[in-house]
Chains A and B, each alone.
Chain A
Amino acid sequence: MSDHDTDDQIEDLPLDALPLDAWHRGRGARMVPFAGYEMPIQYEGIVAEHNWTRENAGLFDVSHMGQLLLSGPDCDAAVEAVLPIDLSTLKLGQQRYSLLLDEDGGVLDDLMISRWPDALYLVVNGATKWDDIGTLREALPDDITLNHLDEHALLALQGPKAADALARHVPGVEALTFMKFGKFKLAGHDVTIARAGYTGEDGFEISLPAAPAAEVADLLCAEPEVKPIGLGARDSLRLEAGLPLYGHDMSPETSPIEAGLVFGINKRRRTEGGFHGADRIIREINEGTARKWVGLCIEGRLPAREGAEVFSGSDRIGTVTSGGFSPTLGAPIAMAYVASQYAATGTALEVEVRGKRLAATVSPTPFVPHRYFRGS
């Protein structure tokens, strides 16, 4: 018996330990290499953790992600020369999704950006953070300060009961709505909390100094609604939510327009341009793309995974970029790039797994509805 794939294993580099490394091991986590760190893939089991998060609240350690602060004179203009964002509409206390593109419009990373009182705060992917820092440092003027918060941890508390559990320790946090953030005290420590996440559920992302991270994780997991959740369930949750994973669903070889991420190109920038890759992006917005990223529901129980080819009759028309078994739906689901004429919802296609053709139907995403808190 042996595993087919060794996704995300960076085998040549020594692995670093995250601030909560010992905490995870103490709670029985199975640790695997991911993004250059040893990270918890699961505690009690992926399906149990997945379902717990959909029904209660799960605590995810995402401290591998890069937390960056940008500040300096004319910082907004400097950042707008790189990212396709309209910072004039990003108010204090707001967070927004954006993209780091190369000069050809390929995706170098996707990220969250929010406006702090005296800086812009970015959360970027763990596997790409060092390259992102290099790209930003090179693209931004010298008088813009880039501060990597590498002594900070990042914890995500996700699920329908996350607000109840967190509000017991952070009174007032329940008033935040989706994609808003604030500065709070948690167990006496200064933390920044955003109402956001990567599961499709309501939830929060808590940025805090590394030193008290284990204390805070213990405190939250002592709440009856909260259990620690590993990367395995994080992946199945985000797949059900139809959310792309950098390095799999997006790369320098894909454009955000193909990936359906046009909302990451803010409206003013679609006409004005002036960001990395603008020529291609604006052309694709106006003229469309040859392929599109779509959801597939697959018949039977056999999952189609990354790399599986998609067919219409005998024509190979696409490739799966993320796929697996949906615990919520009890069926295999996948995301794939397909030629645009096959991208309409309901289109009957086939996916090939180990020589077998599986019936697949182009499906709307998210596969499982988002339950973000946008205000009562």
Chain B
Amino acid sequence: MRYFTDEHEWIDVDGDVATVGITDYAQGQLGDIVFVELPAVGTAIQQGKDAAVVESVKAASDVYAPIDGEVTETNPALEEDPSLVNSAPEGEGWFFKMTIGNAAQLDALMDEAGYKAFIDSL
């Protein structure tokens, strides 16, 4: 099941592991991405707080943790090719995997239809 935040992160839940990235809408707003700064494995992250930084040609932008948890893995492909975030933001361009520290927080996020309605309203 995939959830979305109003800050344009997505979180895909599979059992007790979640994968996090930014949405296609977000990469389109950022433009050409040249660097992604990922949290270290083992970092405890908190919902709504800084988790990663994405640098486009234009500017640096914060990426927030969609829920509480601990980072268990980061995407090694982004170091070599940060433009994966542009070309495959909701697939190969994922940022990190994390534990689900508070499952109740997921319920407050949007589903795919809800997120689509949200960006259509922007």
Contacts and interface: CB of A to CB of B under 8 A. Distances in A.
A236 B57 contact: yes
Nearest to A7: B59
Contacts of B56: 46
Interface stretch (A262-270, A297-305, A364-372): A297-305
Interface string A305-317: 1000000000000
B63 A325 contact: no
Contacts of B3: none
Contacts of A89: none
Contact of A301 (B9, B34, B53): B34
A5 B63 contact: no
Interface in A41-58: 41-42, 45-48, 50
B57 A232 contact: yes
A252 interface: no
A303 B32 contact: no
Given A1-B8, A47-B32, A324 B61 contact: no
B60 interface: yes
B39 interface: no
B62 interface: yes
B76 to A, nearest CB: 14
A354 interface: yes
A149 to B, nearest CB: 31
A324 B35 CA distance: 11
Contacts of A47: 31-32, 57
A46 B28 CA distance: 12
A45 B32 contact: yes
Contacts of B37: 302, 354
Interface string B4-33: 000111000000000000100010001110
A162 B81 CA distance: 33
Interface string A164-201: 00000000000000000000000000000000000000
Contacts of B32: 45-48, 327
A354 B59 contact: no
A356 to B, nearest CB: 8
A27 interface: no
Interface in B35-81: 35, 37, 53-64
A272 interface: no
A42 to B, nearest CB: 6
Nearest to B54: A1
B57 A1 contact: no
A341 interface: no
B59 A301 contact: no
Interface in A29-81: 41-42, 45-48, 50
Contact of A45 (B22, B26, B31, B64): B31
Interface of B: 7-9, 22, 26, 30-32, 34-35, 37, 53-64, 82
Give 6 nearest A-B pairs by CB, closest first: A325-B34, A47-B32, A4-B60, A301-B35, A46-B57, A1-B8
17 contacts: A1-B8, A1-B9, A1-B62, A1-B64, A2-B7, A2-B61, A7-B59, A45-B32, A47-B57, A232-B57, A301-B34, A301-B35, A302-B55, A303-B55, A325-B55, A354-B37, A354-B53
